[in-house]
Amino acid sequence: MKNNKKRITKEFFLILFSFICGSVFILFLLIFPPFKNILLSNECIIKNKSQIYEKSSLKNSIEKIYDAVVVVQEYNSGTIENSGTGFIYKTDEKYGYILTNEHVLTSSNEIKVVLSNDKEIVAKILGKDEYLDLAVLRIEKKYVKQVATLSTSEKSNIGDTVFTVGSPIGYNYRGSVTSGVLSGKDRLVSISVGNSNDLDWIMKVLQIDASINPGNSGGPLLNVNGEVIGICSLKLVDDNIEGMGFAIPIEYAMSHVDLLEQGKKVNWPVLGIEMINVDDSAKLARYNLTVPKEITEGIVIYNIKEGTGAAKSSLKKGDVILKINNIVVKDIATLKYELYKYKTNDKIEITFKRNGKEKKTKVLLS
C-alpha cells in the first residue's frame, strides 16, 4: 500500500515538474523576440531602432515577383498612347517573354517596357488576340532580372489572400502592390471586343477585391506564396460598385501562349452568320425583321455568309437561334462563348425558331 502511495506521489511530482518546465519554455518563446517572431510567423521590421512585428506580411512573397513585373508603354510618334502592366513568365537562351493584356496594345507596334530598375527598353510584339485579351512580348534576356513563378487558380479557394503588383494610372505609380481576397471563381462577365459597342463576348474570370485601376491591366494576380494565378484584366466601374475586379486564370492563358509566341492567330470557329440580339429593336427595324413577343432570349440571323457551314444548313435570314447543342443561347455574347468551345470542322446542332415552330439543323464550323 505504501509503495503504491509513493509511486502515485512520484508520478504527480513528475507531471507537475513537466508542466512547469513546459510553461517556462513557452513563456521564454513568447518573450524572446527572435523566437516570438518564428512562433507567430510575423515579419520583424526595425523602425527608429524599435522592433515592430507585422503579422502576415507579404514582403517575402512580393520579393518573388517584384523584379519580374514591367510597365508596358505603347508609343505613337514618340508619344505614349497607352500604358499597362506585364510580367516575365519565362526565358530561353536569348529572350525573356512577357504576358500582358491585348487591350493594352491598341494599334501601334512601337512598344517599350520599363523594368523594376527604371531601365526602359524596346519590346517586340510576338502575338496577340482580342478575344483572349492576351498578348506576348519579347525582350533580350540580358535585361531579365527575375522570372515569375506560375501556379494555377484551380488550387486557390474563395477567401484566400491574393495580391497584385502593377502600375495604376501609369509610370508614376509603377510597382504598386494591393491585396485582398479571392472573391469568386468562374465568373462570367460580358464585355465588348474590338470596336464593338455591344456586349458581344463573355470572359470566364476570377473575381477579386484587391484594388486595380487603369494601368494594372496585364499585371499578375498572385497567391500568398507569390505565385501567379491570374492576369488582371478588368473591373466593374459604377458609382454604386466598389472592389469588383477580375483576372484571367493563368492556366487558361498558358493554354494559348504557344500560338501567340509563334505569332500565329488563334483560329476561332466560324458559324457563318451575322446576327442581332432579339431585344435590339433598332437593329431589327433596320433590317426589317420582327420577333414574336413571347421570345425574350436568343439571336436573330440577318445575313448568312456564302460558303460557310450555315449556308449549307437549313438556316435562313430571320431565324431565331435558341440553343447550341442544347445549351440555351441568351444573346450574341453567350452564343460566342459556347461556340468558341469548339474547333474548326466540328459539327454542332442548332435549335432555332421559324414561323412559330421550333426546328433543328446541323452546322459544320469553318
Catalytic positions are 103, 133, 217
**124: Cβ contacts below 8 Å, ≥ 6 apart:** 111, 137, 138, 139
Q: How many CB atoms lie within 10 A of CB 184?
A: 14
Report the C-alpha gap between 166 and 137 in whole angstroms: 17
Report the C-alpha gap between 233 and 216 in whole angstroms: 8
**Nine cell digits for residue 346:** 466540328
Report the C-alpha gap between 212 and 289 in whole angstroms: 43
Q: Are 247 and 221 in contact (CB under 8 A)?
A: yes
Q: How many CB atoms lie within 10 A of CB 317?
A: 14
Provide the CB-side half-sphere exposure for 304 (13 A, CA).
Answer: 19
Task: Assign residue 350 a region (left: φ > 0; alpha: ψ between -120 and 50; beta: otherwise).
Answer: beta
Q: Are 235 and 245 in contact (CB under 8 A)?
A: yes
Which residues does residue 52 pair with via DSSP β-bridges, in sequence order? 45
- Count, in order, helices (H) and strands (E) of the chain: 7, 21
Backbone angles phi, psi at 250, to 5 degrees: -65, -35
Give me the amino acid identity at 307.
G
| Helices assigned H by DSSP within 207-317 | 250-254, 257-261, 281-286
Provide the CB-side half-sphere exposure for 332 (13 A, CA).
Answer: 20
Question: Among 41, 249, 255, which residue's Cα sits nearest to residue 155?
Answer: 249
